[in-house]
Structure 1
């Protein structure tokens, strides 16, 4: 069984690499713009890639020009190398409201392998749903694919086409589910206050550089708050094949949970939240 899963991982990784070649031409400015740390953001390779830098003076971040009500969102990232303790590199979706929705990929900087990837889900202002995995590769050495599927049935986080997290729509169980228009954001910033377990950032290692590629967006653009219009099957990511994981992806997902996940918010509670069993 272990060798079968390894073969599946290799297949999904190669599929991700093949797809990336066709998508690498979108300009950063076609769909995104820099929002802070302007002198720490550098478009390169004919604006098909952007370098964000963190030093003691500032980090940097960008966001999409539009808001979305559903989609299959992706980016390719290479995170800072060296001793990056306290450095947080993120790719996420977030709404603009007091009771906000948010879907996070967050790399928690480290000085040794394995590297930690944290995901989190906020719905109607309620977060605290962190899961952490140790990656099966070094994310500082090359670009890798990070995707978020968001439709009215489920949210799935993917790394190199491998599903690492599922959050299903369990409103019938009283669980909030993201349903607000969200923008896409990327950033690198100093989070040593909470992301490093009390360790301080070694600024002698600065500048810390994160790289982002592939700026085309598969999403339903919203200019108002009528998210329901983004649930149409006209959008391919809303069709039935994306309502749940197929058997192959389910096997890969179960393997990630068993072998690479080392923290799950569900384990914090003597009585886990109602969505926990459904999302396994």
Structure 2
């Protein structure tokens, strides 16, 4: 009888990468409240057009020896909910970054804001790392102050599409995976929160110098092309040209924002079981530069 119950529980709650199974229900599903758009309705190619293909609403971008590829939203936004369903490449992908993010780097080079979802490529025997990050008036010029929080996932992101989203409004940033909040970054001061309009981007590119185990493993083009697939795009928010009456998006049942108690329970569960790095808990970081910690 005990063996039967054990097998039944295993069937009902299959083990994830860390042996913990899926997270508890967040009870609220913001992606279901926002309609999807076609790629051409809100985005355009930014670079590597020969490495980008649109087929029945799904966008494929890829990296090989000659180039990667990226795309950008037509409009900048001052707040909103931004998401896409993404499927990652299986096998050896070390050194490769597949991303979905907000940025105003082209508008403010060397002094930009950014909110990142980045999938850090991996070797064949290890899971992907999902890195979330927030930059405030920083760039890759040596003065950047990253606010990284990294996770493993409770599923294999190479076998199917999963929904990833960023909610950004004047009071908070929330990162979602399949509607489960995995990180909330509240606005504690103007100096530690991005407030200028940003565009929405996606890209695949070679970041061999740091992406996989701090650059230990590089992109190996014997495995090319490296492919990222995107669909189910969601752009919902106040663009930079909206009237002052535009209401910022909320990621919870409360129009005023924040998270519900059930959402907090789900987020804390994910962080307890799948978070693998938190910049605020890194003893090697100078936390005078990150006062929000």
Which TM-score band (shorter chain)? 0.7 to 0.9
The answer to whether the 8 Å contact 2:98/2:120 transfers is yes
Unaligned runs of 5+ in 2: 1-12, 14-19, 139-143
The answer to whether the 8 Å contact 1:86/1:199 transfers is yes
Unaligned runs of 5+ in 1: none
Choose from 89, 98, 110 the match for 1:80: 89
2:269 is aligned to: 255
1:116 is aligned to: 129
1:7–1:187 Cα change, 3 Å: closer
2:211 is aligned to: 195
The answer to whether the 8 Å contact 2:25/2:180 transfers is no
2-structure distance, mates of 1:209, 1:238: 30
1-structure distance, mates of 2:29, 2:237: 21
Residue 257 of structure 1, CA deviation: 1.3
Say how many residue pairs are matched: 260
Residues 2-43 of structure 1: per-residue CA shift (max 9 Å, x gap): x8xx898364599689x39x945x321111001111100000
Choose from 157, 176, 181 the match for 1:163: 181
Residue 198 of structure 1, CA deviation: 2.1
Choose from 250, 262, 275 the match for 2:292: 275
Choose from 30, 43, 52 the match for 1:32: 43
Choose from 195, 212, 216 the match for 1:179: 195
Query: Could you say what secondary structure the match of 1:275 adopts?
Result: coil
Superposition TM-score, scaled by structure 1 size:
0.84
1:15–1:68 Cα change, 3 Å: closer
1:154–1:77 Cα change, 3 Å: same
1-structure distance, mates of 2:73, 2:240: 12
The answer to whether the 8 Å contact 2:167/2:249 transfers is no
The answer to whether the 8 Å contact 1:70/1:219 transfers is yes
1:43–1:233 Cα change, 3 Å: closer
TM-align CA RMSD: 2.7
Residue 124 of structure 1, CA deviation: 2.2
Q: Which has the larger radius of gyration?
A: 2
2-structure distance, mates of 1:212, 1:163: 20
Residues 61-94 of structure 1: per-residue CA shift (max 9 Å, x gap): 0000000000011111011212101110000000
Within-5 A mapping of 1:61-100? 61-95=70-104, 96-97=107-108, 98-100=110-112
The answer to whether the 8 Å contact 1:108/1:117 transfers is yes
The answer to whether the 8 Å contact 1:50/1:213 transfers is yes
1:14–1:122 Cα change, 3 Å: closer
1-structure distance, mates of 2:281, 2:247: 39
1:242–1:202 Cα change, 3 Å: farther
Query: Could you say what secondary structure the match of 2:233 adopts?
Result: coil
Residue 153 of structure 1, CA deviation: 1.1
Choose from 110, 115, 137 the match for 1:103: 115
1:14–1:57 Cα change, 3 Å: farther
2-structure distance, mates of 1:201, 1:37: 18
1-structure distance, mates of 2:196, 2:29: 31
2-structure distance, mates of 1:118, 1:160: 16
Superposition TM-score, scaled by structure 2 size:
0.80
